[in-house]
Structure 1
Amino acid sequence: ERVREFARFRPDLSFCAEAGGEIVGLVRLWDIHIGAIPALFLGPLAVHTGRRLDGLGGRLVAHAGAAADALGEGPILLVGDPPFFERFGYAVPPTAGVRLPGPVDPKRVLARGAAGPLAGSVRP
């Protein structure tokens, strides 16, 4: 949440899922830098309670990642549950040198699309 306080929202890379005229899920991406590297931050990912077991969250994550790849964007960073996000190419090891604002469990900081280890403070 602290990252979203200063990052620039990317509506072109953020998506909602609708069912019956209601929003049942969303994912948002934000412009950041990790040190000097331009990157994106993923969050929040939110899915209506009644839709959590049908793969909607995974489809939103995959769609946002594919849209970012299509635009040639850099790595995507997030704070989340490794078993969920690892199936979409996110991993903890490239993030060992990343410094996020506020307290964060380093075992929950993941990235995908990095050419190598990421290091430095997350900033606008």
Structure 2
Amino acid sequence: MLIRRETPADRPAVHAVHREAFRREPGVIPVEAPLVDELRADGAVIGALSLVAVHDGEVVGHVCCSRARVGDDRTAAVGLGPLGVLPSHQARGVGSALMHTVLGAADALGLGLVVLLGSPAYYGRFGFVRASTLGVTPPDPKWEEHFQARTLTGHQSAHAGAFEYAPAFSRI
């Protein structure tokens, strides 16, 4: 398996990954698939943090980070997600490989904080904690239990306050 940056040629496969990974009912496209398209169209996806997992020449997973704001700072934090893996490749380490790679890349870019909404049981293994313990509040108070953050080398205690995802998240 290879983890690499997404290219424009990968876009249909990335859409398919999220469509299949998050499918809840037949014939209904889950919001995660068009969300990535909208984030990309808005210019909110950070190219160096949009990664695909390739197995035998096929894109089998994708993760991306988008521009975000925490407090008054628009440079210290990013929103992670969605993270998707084709069902046929789940529980094989693809998601973990994508997470480790995107966190390492975000750290190398000098970012201080990665924020996401997801399962504490899954994301805790990557160092994510409830965001409120770091002074970061979710856009919706109902998200508190699943709203998580991971500090990176560039983190400073001033990276706190209300978190705001890229505008595409509000449109879904």
**Aligned twin of 1:32:** 68
Among residues 16, 37, 41, which one is paired with 2:79 in the alignment? Answer: 41
CA contact (8 A) 1:95 1:109 kept: no
| CA distances 1:56-95 after superposition (whole Å, capped 9, x unpaired) | 1011011000001011112000000001111111100435
Provide the identity percentage: 29
SS in 2 for 1:10: strand
Q: How far 1:54 sits from its partner (Å)? A: 1.0
- The alpha-carbon distance between structure 1 residues 26 and 123, as it changes in their structure 2 partners (threshold 3 A), is closer
| Number of equivalent positions | 122
Cα RMSD (Å) of the superposition? 2.5
Partner of 2:47: 11
Counterpart check, 1:68 vs 2:106: yes
Change over 3 Å in CA distance of 1:123–1:23 after alignment to 2: closer
- Aligned 8 A contact 2:114 2:150 in 1: yes
SS in structure 2 at match of 1:54: coil
Structure 1: runs of 5 or more not aligned? none
Distance 1:51 1:119, change over 3 A: same
Pair 97,74 (structure 1): closer, same or farther in 2 beyond 3 Å: closer
Matching residue of 1:98: 137
How far off its partner does 1:31 sit? Answer: 1.2
Amino acid at match of 1:15: L
Contact 2:67 2:77 (8 Å CA) reproduced: yes
Q: Following the alignment from structure 2 to structure 1, what is the Cα–Cα distance between the partners of residues 92 and 124?
A: 18
Q: Is the 8 A contact 2:70 2:136 kept in 1?
A: no
Rg (Cα) greater in structure: 2
TM-score, normalised on structure 2? 0.62
For structure 2, the residue ranges without an aligned partner over 5 or more in a row are 1-31, 167-172
> What is the alpha-carbon distance in structure 1 between the residues aligned to residue 92 and residue 67 of structure 2?
29
What TM-score, normalized to structure 1? Answer: 0.83
Higher RCO (C-alpha under 8 Å, 6+ residues apart): 1
Query: Matched residues in 1 for 2:68 and 2:43: separation?
Result: 6
Structure showing the higher helix proportion among its residues:
2
